[in-house]
Structure 1
Amino acid sequence: MAKTSKFRAYLAAMIVNITTLSLGVSIGWMSPTAPALQSDTPPFGTEPLSDQIISWLGSLQYAGGVAGVLFWGQITEKFGRKPAGYLLCIPLLIGWSSVLFAQNHVWLIVGRFIMGFSVIGALIIVPSYVSEISEDSYRGSLGSFIILFFNLGVVLAYFVGSILSVRNLTIFCASIPIVFLCFFYFLPESPVYLWSKGKKSKAQESLLWFRSGNNVLVEQELEILNSVMKSDKSVASIPVSRLYDKKGTIKAMINSLQLFTVQQFCGILMLLTYSSIIINKSEINFSFHTAAVIIGLVQLIASWITSLIIDRFNRRTLLILSNIGMSVTLFTIGLFFYSQKYYYETNFLPNWVPFICMCIHVIFYCLSAPMGYIITCETLVPEIRPLAFSVIVFWGTSMSFLSIKIYVFLVDNFYMQGNFWFFSLWCIFAVIYTIFFIPETRGKSLVEVLKTLNGEQNTKINKTYEYEACSSVIPIGDK
C-alpha cells in the first residue's frame, strides 16, 4: 500500500513539474537561437538583431517574472493550485505564439516578457502543490524535482535546438504546456488547499487518492493537518512588519535575500543564456550546439547527484565549496579571454578551457542551487513564510533580470574577461558572507535555528511545533 501511495505522489510531482520544464526550456531557448537571430538570414523578421536586442530578449523574461510573482501568489491562494496551473498555460501559449509569428524584434520582446510572466508561476504553484501532496519521508525528494525538471528543460532546448531549426524548436517549446494540460487534468486538487477552504470531504477524497485508499494513514495526516490549520494565521492577516519585528527574523530575511542575490550573480544565468556566444568567442574547434548540450547534460546529472547527497553534508560546507569552485572557474575563463585579447598569438591557455570550466562551474552551482529555498524554509516561521517568500522571490527575479541585462554592458566596457571576473567576485563575497553570517541548519529544528539567530539558548524541542514549522518548503501562498 505504501509503495502505491508513493508512486502516485511521485507521478503527480512529475506531471506538475512539466511547468518547471517549460521554465527551463524558455531559458535554454536563447542559447541555440541567439546566433541564428544575429545571422544575415534570421528565422524571425528580416534584419539581424544587435547585441543589445539579444540582451533584452534574454533579460526581459525575468522582467516579466517580476511582474508575475505577486499575481501568481494571489491566484494560487484564492482559486487553488489546479486553476492556477490551468491559467498559467494561457499566457505561456500566447508568449510562444508571439515569438513564433514574430515579424520583428518587438514581437520577440513582447513574447519573451509574457513568457516570463507565465513561467514564474511554476516556482510558486509547483512547490506548493508538491509539498502538500507529499508525506514527510519523501517530501525532500519530491521537492528536488523542481531543479531536475528545470535543468532537463534547459538540456532539451539545447538538444532540440541542435537538430531542428529555430522555428521548429519554438513549436516544440510551445507544445509542452499543452502536454501539461492533458496530464494535469487527471490530478486532484491539493488536499491542504481544500482543507484550508473548509472543503473537508473533498480534501479527504484527494488525500485518499494520493495515499491509494490507505484510510489509516489519511486519518493520521488529517488530524495533524487540522491541528496545524487551527494554529495558523492566514497570509492576509500577517502584516509586513512581521518580517522585521525580531532580531532572528531580520537575520533570516537578510540571509535569504543574500542567498537569492548571489544565486543570480554567481554567473549561472549568464552562462546558460549566452553559452553559445561564449563558446563561439573561445574559438573551440567543435560545434557550439554540441558544447551547449554537453554543458546542459552535465548540469542535469549534477543536479540529480546533488538531490541524493544534499542531506549528507552541512549546508554551510556545500555553500562555501560551491562558491569557491564557481569563483575559480569564472576567474579562469576570464583569464583565458584576457590572454586571447592581449596575447592572441601566444595564448597560454588552450581553446577548450572555457568549455571545461563551464562544465565544472555548473557542477559546483548544483551543490548550492537548492540552498536558497532550503535555508529560507529552515530559518523562517511558517506563518510569515508565504509573505517572506513573496518578497524574496520578487527580489530574486529582479536580480535575475539585472544579471542577464548587465552582460552586454560588462562586455562592451570591460571586455569578456571583465564580465567573468565581475561574477567571480560575487562568488568570493558569498564565501565570506557564508563563513561569518549563515547559520548551520542541517539536522536542526526550526525552533533550534530561531533560538540561535535570536542569540538564545536551545531547549528541548516540541515535536508537534517542529512538524508544523518544517513540514514544507513553499514559496508563496502555502496556506
Structure 2
Amino acid sequence: MKNADSCSNSHLGGLSKLAQADDWSDGVPNGGLEADPANSTPGSRLSQATFGMISLGCCFGWSSLALPYLQRNLENNSNATGEMDYIDELHSSDNFSYKIPDSRHNRLVNFSIHSEPDARVGDLVTMEEGALISSLLAIGALFGSLPAGYLANICGRKTMIQILNVPLFVGWLAIIFADRNVIILYLARFLQGIALGLSSVFIPLYNEEISEAPIRGALGTIYNTMVNVGVLFIAIAGSCLPYLWVNITSASIVIVSAVALSWIPESPIYLLMKGQKLSAQNSLSILRGSNFNPNIDIGKEFDDMEKLVDKIRDQNKYSCLESLKERLHDFRVTSPTAKTFYIVTLLMVCRQLSGVNGILFYGVDFFRESGSSISPYVSNIVVSIVEVVSGLGSFLLVDRLGRRFILIGCGAVFVFVYFTLSLYLYFKKMNYDIESVEWIPLLIIMIDFFVYDLGIGTISFLMMAELTRSTESKGWITSTASMVNWLGIFMCTYFFPAMIHYIGDMGTYIMFGILNIIGTTFIFLFVPETKFRSG
C-alpha cells in the first residue's frame, strides 16, 4: 500500500478512482456495488457526516452579514427599510458587550450586527481589507484541498472528517474575539478555508464509499445542499441576533458535528485498503444494519468491495512519477485527454463568470445599495431559501432535461439577469421614478441564484466526474479544475468590491452579462451531453 498512498496526493485522492462508477464491480448495473434498496438503512450516517457542512456554509454567508458591521458606523443610520427603531429596541440591552484586549487601547464593543455606537473611523475595516477577509476563505480552501487525498488514505476518512473540525472551530473562535482586528480575521478566514478545502474531499469521498448504488447519485447533491442550508442559517441568525451571537451559534454547530461524528463507522473501503478485513466487515454491517437484522446479506457487496480494492492496488503498482510520465507522454493538444482537460477547466471558469459568489459574499451590501424596498436582511434570507430549493431541484431535473440543455438555458438566463439589473440601475441613476418596481433587484437575484444552483453550480462538478470517468488522467484533471475553481472564487470575491467602486455597479453587471454570453457560447459549441454517459 505504500505506492497507493504515495499516488493519492492529488486533490481527490482515492475519490478520483472510487468515483469511477463504471469500474466498481463487474456485471453490476451502472457500475455500483450491488445492494437491495429494500435493505437500505436510513441515511443517518450520511446526515452525521455532512452535518458539519452547515457550519462551513455559515463561513460562505458570514461576510455578507459581518462586513456591514465591520465597515460601517451605523449608529445614526437605518437599514433599507427604516427598521432602526425596532432593532435598537431588540438590542437595547448591554448583555452582549464586553472588553476586547487591543494593543492600541481597550474599548467597549457592542456586538450588534446592526449598530456600533462606539466604533471609531480608524477602527473600521476598509474596502480592501473587507475584500481580503471575504476572499481568503477560497485561498485557505485551495491549500486545504491539496494534501486532502493523501491524508484521507493515510489517516482514514472518518478520522480526517473529525480533524477538520479543529481549524473550523479555531477559526470561529478567532472571529469571536477578533472584533475588527484584521490580522486575526485574515487568519480566521484562512483556517476556515482550510477546513472547507479538506471537507470538499473527505465528505464526498466518505459518502461515495459507504453508499449503495440506488442512492449514490442522490448523494452528489447532499454536500452542496448542506452548504446552502448553512448559508440560510446564518442569514436568518444574522437578521435577528447580535454579531457576537451569530459567531457563537455558528461555532456551536462545529461542536455538535464533532460529537455526532463519534457514532459513524470508518469507510469499509478504506479499512480494506489497510488490510483490516474484519473491521471492514463490521463497518459494512453497521452501515447496512445487518448486525441488527440477520436477514440482510452483505456478502455479495463485500466481495465487490474487495475486488474494487484489488483493482485500485493494481492501478497503483507503479510510482506516481512513472504514472505521471506515462500520462503526460500521451497528452497532446488534440488528444481526447487534452479536450477533456480544456472542457472541464473552462466549465469551472464559466462557474465563476456567473458572478454569484460576488453577490453571495456581499449580499446585504448589494441589496442595501440597489435601493430595494425590502430589507437587505430579509432579501438575503429569501435568496438563501431559493438556493436550498434550487439545489434540490437540480437533482430532480438533471437526468430528465440533460446537462447541456440546462447549462445553455441557465447561461441565457444569466445574460438576461445581468442586463436587466443593469437597466434597473441605469433608471435609478437617472432619477427615474422606480418606486413601483423596487422589488426588481430581489427578484432578479432570486432568479440568478436559482439558475446557478440548478445549473452550473451543481452540474459543473457532475460533468467533471462524467467527462473524466474513462480516462487514466482523471486525478490530475480534477485536481487542476478544482484549483481553478478555488482561484476563481478568490478572484471573484476579492475584486468584486473594487469593480463596483471603480467601474460602478451598472458597469460591473454589464461586464458579467457579456462574460456570460462568451461562456454560454463556449458551452453551446464545445461541451458535449453526458446524460447516461458510461465512458
TM range (shorter): 0.7 to 0.9
1:360 equivalent in structure 2 = 447
Q: Distance in 1 between matches of 2:442 and 2:519?
A: 24
Q: Verify the 8 A CA contact 2:140 2:192 in the aligned structure 1.
A: yes
2:217 equivalent in structure 1 = 140
Q: Which amino acid aligns with 2:67?
A: A
SS in 2 for 1:344: coil
Q: Which amino acid aligns with 2:411?
A: N
Which of 449, 455, 458 in structure 2 is aligned with 1:370?
Answer: 458
Instruction: Go from structure 1 to structure 2 and tell me whether the alpha carbon gap of 1:349 and 1:255 turns closer, same or farther (over 3 Å shift).
Output: farther
Q: Which amino acid aligns with 1:279?
A: F
Which of 139, 147, 158 in structure 2 is aligned with 1:63?
Answer: 139
SS in 1 for 2:372: coil
Instruction: Go from structure 1 to structure 2 and tell me whether the alpha carbon gap of 1:204 and 1:294 turns closer, same or farther (over 3 Å shift).
Output: same
Which shows bigger deviation, 201-210 or 240-249? Answer: 240-249
1:467 equivalent in structure 2 = none
Cα deviations across residues 409-437 of structure 1 (Å, max 9, x unaligned)?
21122100121122222322221111111
2:359 equivalent in structure 1 = 271
Q: 1:396 Cα shift?
A: 1.0
1:123 equivalent in structure 2 = 200
Count of residue correspondences: 444
Q: Which amino acid aligns with 2:288?
A: R
Which of 323, 330, 342 in structure 2 is aligned with 1:245?
Answer: 330
Q: 1:80 Cα shift?
A: 0.9
Q: Distance in 2 between matches of 1:145 and 1:221?
A: 23
SS in 1 for 2:438: coil
TM-score by length of 1: 0.87
Q: Distance in 2 between matches of 1:221 and 1:390?
A: 30
TM-score by length of 2: 0.79
Q: 1:299 Cα shift?
A: 1.3
Q: Which amino acid aligns with 1:350?
A: V
1:97 equivalent in structure 2 = 173
Q: Verify the 8 A CA contact 1:339 1:348 in the aligned structure 2.
A: no
Q: Verify the 8 A CA contact 1:59 1:401 in the aligned structure 2.
A: yes
1:7 equivalent in structure 2 = 41
Q: Which amino acid aligns with 2:513?
A: S
Q: 1:390 Cα shift?
A: 2.2
1:222 equivalent in structure 2 = 302
Q: Distance in 1 between matches of 2:451 and 2:530?
A: 20
Q: Verify the 8 A CA contact 1:282 1:352 in the aligned structure 2.
A: no
Q: Verify the 8 A CA contact 1:243 1:253 in the aligned structure 2.
A: no
Q: 1:190 Cα shift?
A: 0.7
Cα deviations across residues 60-87 of structure 1 (Å, max 9, x unaligned)?
1111111111122221121110111111
Which of 461, 467, 479 in structure 2 is aligned with 1:379?
Answer: 467
1:48 equivalent in structure 2 = 124
Q: Which amino acid aligns with 1:386?
A: G
Q: Does residue 211 in structure 1 map to residue 283 in structure 2?
A: no
2:155 equivalent in structure 1 = 79
Q: Does residue 150 in structure 1 map to residue 223 in structure 2?
A: no
Work out which of the two has the higher radius of gyration on C-alpha atoms and give 1 or 2.
2
Q: 1:4 Cα shift?
A: 7.4
Q: Which amino acid aligns with 1:219?
A: G
Q: 1:240 Cα shift?
A: 6.6
Q: 1:95 Cα shift?
A: 0.9
Q: Does residue 296 in structure 1 map to residue 384 in structure 2?
A: yes
Instruction: Go from structure 1 to structure 2 and tell me whether the alpha carbon gap of 1:438 and 1:349 turns closer, same or farther (over 3 Å shift).
Output: farther
1:170 equivalent in structure 2 = 247
Q: Which amino acid aligns with 1:38?
A: Q
Q: 1:397 Cα shift?
A: 0.6
CA RMSD of aligned residues (A): 2.2
Q: Verify the 8 A CA contact 1:147 1:303 in the aligned structure 2.
A: yes
Q: 1:347 Cα shift?
A: 5.2
Q: Which amino acid aligns with 2:60?
A: I
Cα deviations across residues 291-335 of structure 1 (Å, max 9, x unaligned)?
100110011111112222222121100111111112211221122
Q: 1:350 Cα shift?
A: 2.8
1:24 equivalent in structure 2 = 57
Q: Distance in 2 between matches of 1:386 and 1:190?
A: 21
Q: Distance in 1 between matches of 2:480 and 2:134?
A: 23
Q: 1:348 Cα shift?
A: 9.3
Q: Verify the 8 A CA contact 1:37 1:43 in the aligned structure 2.
A: no
2:524 equivalent in structure 1 = 435
Cα deviations across residues 168-214 of structure 1 (Å, max 9, x unaligned)?
00011111111111111111011111112222221111111111116
Structural mapping, 1:379-418, within 5 Å: 379-380=467-468, 381=470, 383-418=472-507
1:231 equivalent in structure 2 = 311
Q: Verify the 8 A CA contact 2:364 2:377 in the aligned structure 1.
A: yes
Q: Distance in 1 between matches of 2:373 and 2:59?
A: 28
Instruction: Go from structure 1 to structure 2 and tell me whether the alpha carbon gap of 1:344 and 1:118 turns closer, same or farther (over 3 Å shift).
Output: same
Q: Distance in 2 between matches of 1:127 and 1:254?
A: 24
2:513 equivalent in structure 1 = 424
Q: Which amino acid aligns with 1:436?
A: L
Q: Which amino acid aligns with 1:239?
A: L
Q: Which amino acid aligns with 1:13?
A: L
Cα deviations across residues 417-467 of structure 1 (Å, max 9, x unaligned)?
121122222322221111111111111211xxxxxxxxxxxxxxxxxxxxx
Q: Distance in 1 between matches of 2:210 and 2:223?
A: 15
Q: Which amino acid aligns with 1:361?
A: D
Q: Distance in 2 between matches of 1:215 and 1:66?
A: 45
